[in-house]
Structure 1
Amino acid sequence: MCLLSEPHPDRSPGLIPAAIPDARLLVDRSCVLVKTMLDRPDEAAPNFVLLQMLYEQLQQLHDIFEDSERQQLKPGTSP
């Protein structure tokens, strides 16, 4: 969810926005979604190729977050 100064056109101005999950949670959810979609590809091959590229990028992000979390858990290091 992007934070924009103007309301999203698909949302009613009276709706209260849901809590924004942290980046790690969003990456994890996206990885699960993409993995599920890759396990059940549709008939259109270009979609599969794009999903494969997205999966690889999300995996890289996941690894970066994981390394960062490990660094934060090490004694004597600051976040």
Structure 2
Amino acid sequence: MYGVRDLPEDDSWFTQRQEAVGRRVVAERLRQNLTQEDLFLAARVDRRTLQALEAGRGNPVLATLHRIAYVLDVPLSDLVR
């Protein structure tokens, strides 16, 4: 189709983006001097969900990302760009 971008043959692009989101969450959390516990409790998300997200293995639902962005007081776009 014209104007439609095909996905690469493998999912390495997706893994790289997951890892980047995790790094951004960790960086902002640490910048604010928050522990993982501070963040998952305030955002009301499961500890394992946050741990997986920060490790670049998570595939959180949009609501989880919104909760984390809200608690960190950053635009969601800053985390997922």
- Whether TM exceeds 0.5 here: the answer is no
Bigger relative contact order (CA 8 A; separation at least 6): 2
Higher fraction of helix = 2
Instruction: Please give the range of the TM-score, normalised by the shorter of the 2 chains.
Output: 0.3 to 0.5
- Greater C-alpha radius of gyration: 1
TM-score scaled to structure 2, two decimals? 0.33
TM-score scaled to structure 1, two decimals? 0.34
